[in-house]
Amino acid sequence: KSLERNIKTIIKTGTGYGPEFLPVLRETKNILKRINKGKPNAEHYFQLGTLCLELEDNQMALDAFKTGYQLNKNHLNCGTYSALLLEQQEKWSEALSIYKELNSLDPENIHIAERMLLIFYTQKDIKNVLTHCYYFLDRKLYYPSIYYYLSQIFYDCSDTEKAIEYLQNALMLDNDNN
């Protein structure tokens, strides 16, 4: 409710935002009214989060996405946006936790798999990169990025023969490089 009042004040006074933000502010006010008057659902919070991103308020967006995700753990968009914003804040374990939950809901979503692998690789967690890459391959998820990660790990470990083998697999699957 206080957020809704603040948005109304901003709309009336124009404080803090230029006129180009007025349509977004009005839309935000409308979503907040729906949330405050009825039974909000995850989609309402997803819409609020995307509007907060347009208003360049990442923390408020994160709060909205997290709330939406808590209301409905099957809402992939709320979960994904929450995890991405957590990554920006370098809250790797929180982001990874959400990605793992999302991966269990949608194991063939390569974008989620790639985010997990990126976090593991960035943190130099070789064991988890290998474990998850082989897990995805066992599930018959043959994506170039999986092979690229395997190639990079083996290259980092000075096993160039294995690195080349995985890189060749990646290149064969990568239509953009053919």
List, for residues 68-81, the tens digit of each pLDDT value: 999 999 999 999 99
Q: For residues 17 and 57, is the Cβ–Cβ distance under 8 A? A: no
pLDDT in tens, 119-169: 999 999 999 999 989 988 998 888 999 999 999 999 999 999 999 999 999
pLDDT at 34: 86
Which pTM was predicted? Answer: 0.80
How buried is residue 6: exposed, middle or buried, by Cβ count under 10 Å (0-12/13-18/19+)? middle
Across the range 43-54, mean pLDDT stands at: 92
Query: Token pair 């391959």 is at which residue?
Result: 137
